[in-house]
């Protein structure tokens, strides 16, 4: 597996795939570690998880640099990502016991209660866009619940995968409890079928989700799927436009637009459309695109050349289908997988950037007559990850968020965010199951009923 620096297009390092005997030996060692780890108290597990947070904080710059080199994330965003990983480790170190504590239930029995037991080894198939955060948000609760983790990371961030494995080693976790297994996606089926793997968590594209769900379904293994999105942001006529534009642009451009919960479709009521459009385009222009290692850069290159080319194809197809290009839309000269902040207006049902996920800095502006049409348009998608609504009338916005929008998370007057305290996940083709909060740690456990007469 070859890692490539998307800023320069130069090869970084070749990582050979693991052989079958090596994978077999790792799985045996992980299985053995799990048997002892499951007997650790929450306090013992929590101490090690806190240590992992310390290792993350100590080496923050080193990990941020690795992400910049392997997938183009600006340094300051990488440092923020590492801090967030440390926060999720601390969060579960402090809350796992409370989330998984024995629950007495009143029945006719002398005693009845529910306990939460770990399932075993969880296979984590992870994406490149937040190479540390996605792994930690899955691993911290999964390990704190007493499970072990085998990581199959995205091939283009193989260096990050090794660094993460080392963090758990340095923190003092039992040997191989968290192990990296470097294989191509075509070998994931064999891992899922391996009897030592108890369950699977995938964060990735809807296409990968369908494939993994079918393989896991065939062997009846529990899965959590965190897949793609095309988050709609509704801007109503009574919105605070300064705040709305700020949130919309930040959400569209965070991580170069390569976030599942980036705002992707901007649904704006006709009476304020022109004003919103002007403010939005101006703010999209203010970005500083360049080498992610340089200070002040807000947008690096996209993570891979093929992803950049696909995004450009989606933009060109949409223009052919009738969308109007207001900004960007041209591949800049020079090396690197760069793509500029791009704005399309007059986007309508049937156009590619309306129907598909746009995983990069491309915004689709959609004009609607009123609130009802805005809601219909927001829900007119195969996805259901996040959604936001902007209005000064909080009651109205709350009603739309609670009753009308089809998504796993609905935010009012702010951009959709992931936060260890809040459940995170989607509906429709954005997947199923939840990560983070109490819901996340309860995904990979046996909810065991005990009844004593």
Active site residues: 226, 260
Residue 142 engages ligand NAP in binding (rule: CB under 6 A): no
Residue 177 engages ligand NAP in binding (rule: CB under 6 A): no
Residue 200 engages ligand NAP in binding (rule: CB under 6 A): no
List, in order, residues 6 or more apart from 211 with CB less than 8 Å away.
188, 189
Integer Cα distance of 191 and 135 in angstroms: 18
- Give the residue with the Cβ less far from ligand NAP, 202 or 365: 202
Is-contact 123 199, C-beta < 8 A?
yes
What phi and psi, each to the nearest 5 degrees, are found at residue 185?
Answer: -65, -25
Query: Which member of 135, 163, 227, 445 binds ligand NAP (CB under 6 A)?
Result: 227
- Give the residue with the Cβ less far from ligand NAP, 231 or 404: 231
Residue 138 engages ligand NAP in binding (rule: CB under 6 A): no
- Give the residue with the Cβ less far from ligand NAP, 120 or 426: 426
3-class DSSP state of 389: strand
Residue 70 engages ligand NAP in binding (rule: CB under 6 A): no
The residue with tokens 């968020």 is: 401
Is-contact 371 352, C-beta < 8 A?
no
Pair of tokens at residue 431? 């997947």
Least separation in angstroms between residue 203's CB and ligand NAP is 5
Residue 229 engages ligand NAP in binding (rule: CB under 6 A): yes
The residue with tokens 């009651």 is: 395
Residue 4 engages ligand NAP in binding (rule: CB under 6 A): no
3-class DSSP state of 339: coil
Residue 204 engages ligand NAP in binding (rule: CB under 6 A): yes
Integer Cα distance of 267 and 136 in angstroms: 33
What phi and psi, each to the nearest 5 degrees, are found at residue 310?
Answer: -65, -40
Integer Cα distance of 56 and 140 in angstroms: 13
DSSP-derived secondary structure letter, 204: S
Binding map of ligand NAP across residues 89-118, x = CB under 6 A, - = no contact: ------------------------------
* From 59-67, 122-130, 277-285, 311-319, span contacting ligand NAP (CB under 6 A): 122-130
Query: Which member of 34, 91, 128, 273 binds ligand NAP (CB under 6 A)?
Result: 128
Is-contact 60 79, C-beta < 8 A?
yes
- Give the residue with the Cβ less far from ligand NAP, 368 or 436: 436
Query: Which member of 81, 226, 277, 371 binds ligand NAP (CB under 6 A)?
Result: 226
Residue 6 engages ligand NAP in binding (rule: CB under 6 A): no
Binding map of ligand NAP across residues 378-397, x = CB under 6 A, - = no contact: -------x------------
Residue 355 engages ligand NAP in binding (rule: CB under 6 A): no
Q: Which one, of 208, 238, 244, lies nearest residue 223 by Cα?
A: 208
Residue 188 engages ligand NAP in binding (rule: CB under 6 A): yes
């Amino acid at each position: 597996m070859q890692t490539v620096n998307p800023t320069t297009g130069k090869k970084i390092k070749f990582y050979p795939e693991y052989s079958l005997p090596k994978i077999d030996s790792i799985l045996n060692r992980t299985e053995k570690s799990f048997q002892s780890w499951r007997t650790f108290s929450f306090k013992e597990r929590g101490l090690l998880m806190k240590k992992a947070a310390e290792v993350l904080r100590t080496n923050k710059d080193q990990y941020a640099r690795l992400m910049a080199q392997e997938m183009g994330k600006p340094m300051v965003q990488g440092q923020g990502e590492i801090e967030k990983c440390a926060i999720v480790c601390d969060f579960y170190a402090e809350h796992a016991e409370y989330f998984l504590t024995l629950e007495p239930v009143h029945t006719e029995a002398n005693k009845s209660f529910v306990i939460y037991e770990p399932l075993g080894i969880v296979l984590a198939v992870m994406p490149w866009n937040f190479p540390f955060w996605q792994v930690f948000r899955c691993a911290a609760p999964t390990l704190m619940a007493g499970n072990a983790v085998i990581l199959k990371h995205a091939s283009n961030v193989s260096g990050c995968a090794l660094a993460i494995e080392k963090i758990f080693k340095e923190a003092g976790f039992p040997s191989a409890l968290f192990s990296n297994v470097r294989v191509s996606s075509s070998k994931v089926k064999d891992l899922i079928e391996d009897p030592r793997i108890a369950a699977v968590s995938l964060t990735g594209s809807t296409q990968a989700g369908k494939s993994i769900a079918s393989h896991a379904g065939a062997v009846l293994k529990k899965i959590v799927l965190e897949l793609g999105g095309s988050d709609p942001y509704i801007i109503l006529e009574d919105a605070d436009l300064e705040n709305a534009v700020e949130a919309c642009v930040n959400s569209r451009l965070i991580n170069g637009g390569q976030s599942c919960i980036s705002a992707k479709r901007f649904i704006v009521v006709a009476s304020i459309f022109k004003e919103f459009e002007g403010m939005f385009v101006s703010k999209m222009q203010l970005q500083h695109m360049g080498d992610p290692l340089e200070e002040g850069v807000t947008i690096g290159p996209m993570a891979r050349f093929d992803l950049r080319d696909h995004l450009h194809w989606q933009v060109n197809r949409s223009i052919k289908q009738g969308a109007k290009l207001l900004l960007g839309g041209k591949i800049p000269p020079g090396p690197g997988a760069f793509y500029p902040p791009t704005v399309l207006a007059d986007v309508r049902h049937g156009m590619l950037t309306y129907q598909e996920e746009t995983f990069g800095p491309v915004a689709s502006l959609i004009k609607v007559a009123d609130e009802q049409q805005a809601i219909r348009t927001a829900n007119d998608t195969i996805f259901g990850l996040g959604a936001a609504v902007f209005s000064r009338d909080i009651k109205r916005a709350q009603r739309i968020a609670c009753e009308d929008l089809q998504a796993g998370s609905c935010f009012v007057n702010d951009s959709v965010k992931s936060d260890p305290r809040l459940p995170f996940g989607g509906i429709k083709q954005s997947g199923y199951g939840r990560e983070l909060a109490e819901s996340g740690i309860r995904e990979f456990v046996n909810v065991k009923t005990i009844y004593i007469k």
